[in-house]
Structure 1
Amino acid sequence: MAYNDDERAIIGAAAARENMAPAAWAARAALAVAVGQLVPVPTDTREVMQELIESRKQTARPHNNFNQLQRMLNTEALVGPVELTEAVADRLMMVMAQQLAVLQRLDAATLQVMRERRGR
């Protein structure tokens, strides 16, 4: 295998961390990939995973807001049909917009992971 100076330096540093010769380290890594023991991942995998984790957290927030709206609409003070006031409608629209934004972020992150996995 042929490497440029930058690649040689990266392999040398990785080999040094494991107290190995660069050629031995490269051979071990190549074999691990070849037998499926090691799966190469893009360098932005950490960012994609952080986005998925953040999206999961964000999906709980609108759910909590929906619960708050439900409690508000079901209070004992309200008797008979519930009037949809402008304040309630505005709050509902805000919660729905938040939910849509979260789902769009989650969709984008999921599609990114799918694109990355397609090449394997």
Structure 2
Amino acid sequence: MFTFLIILITLLAILLVLVVLLQSGRGGGLAGIAAGGAQQILGARQAPDILEKTTWTLAAIFIVLCILTNFTIDTGARRESIIQQRAQQEQTQPVPPATPPATTPAPADDAN
């Protein structure tokens, strides 16, 4: 379920970006590219209204899905870090004391 929601959120985010880019802003944006087709199908005044409603709807769905994703996370299968695993192992199993490394005697200097 979690993976499905993440994929759905990703697709929704891509769609939301496209809808926002199609809206005409102060500088015209990308709406000028598709303005001819949008005006023919939707009319000159309906296109911005539909794009704005679509943006608000997609944003609301996006937020709701993000919140729902938090409830679908499986906390039982949560992975712990290596540091936490080692700390738990040290608590259950005592670590044997470290033995000092064996030293080899230095060779004697017999220069005489």
Instruction: Looking at secondary structure, tell me which structure has more helix per residue.
Output: 1
Q: Which has the larger radius of gyration?
A: 2
TM class, shorter-chain normalised?
A: 0.3 to 0.5
Using structure 1 for the length normalisation, give the TM-score: 0.43
TM-score, scaled relative to structure 2: 0.45
